[in-house]
Amino acid sequence: MAKEKNETPTVKKTPMASKEKPKKLKKPKTTTHPPYFQMIKEALMNLKEKNGSSPYAIAKQIEEKYKPLLPENFRKTLSLQLKNSVAKGKLVKIRASYKLSETTTRTTRQQQKKKMETRSKKTVSKPEMVTTKKKRKAKKPRQLKSIKSPGSKKVLRASAS
């Protein structure tokens, strides 16, 4: 006895069939909040803790300021940003806390000074002092005694004898 085949019609996939499905349009990701590192830096500066601030305290500080602008997965993204900032050297991890590295604090202080200078220049102009630096003359490299030409050694030996 022959086996009976299931005679269900098979539908072949054609390019037309795949085009019929409407593609879901992805919403562009637009962030209205500032970059994460900037928010972290502001939070650390506001907290002013000597040994650094915990991720929980940083998150709480950021949430207070940017609550309506933050996405749902904010805390997860924040922890990744903290780890990446430590890897880049922008933050220093002390036990379970984070604080700004010295290079980051220097740059922020310099930026604050520049802002203060631009504000003061608008009100009062300061005379600038011109300084000139003297350039040093490049010294010629000396030739080592062992490298000197062999002809000069013969002359020295002849004059010695």
pLDDT at 130: 61
pLDDT at 116: 73
pLDDT at 113: 72
Span 88-144, pLDDT tens digits? 988 889 898 998 888 776 776 677 677 777 766 655 555 566 666 666 667 777 766
pTM of the model: 0.49
Cα distance between residue 88 and residue 92, in whole Å? 10
* Architecture of the domain delimited by 34-98: Orthogonal Bundle (1.10)
Domain boundaries, the chain: 34-98
Bridge pairing between strands 97-100 and 91-94: antiparallel
Cα distance between residue 11 and residue 76, in whole Å? 45
Cα distance between residue 89 and residue 21, in whole Å? 48
Residue with tokens 């020295």: 156
Span 41-78, pLDDT tens digits? 889 889 988 888 999 999 999 999 888 888 888 899 99
Q: What is the DSSP string of 79-104?
A: HHHHHHHHHHTSEEEETTEEEE-HHH
pLDDT at 135: 66
Span 1-24, pLDDT tens digits? 555 656 666 666 555 555 566 666
pLDDT at 12: 60
Cα distance between residue 82 and residue 92, in whole Å? 9
Cα distance between residue 156 and residue 148, in whole Å? 12
Cα distance between residue 44 and residue 98, in whole Å? 8
**Helix, strand, or coil (residue 24):** coil
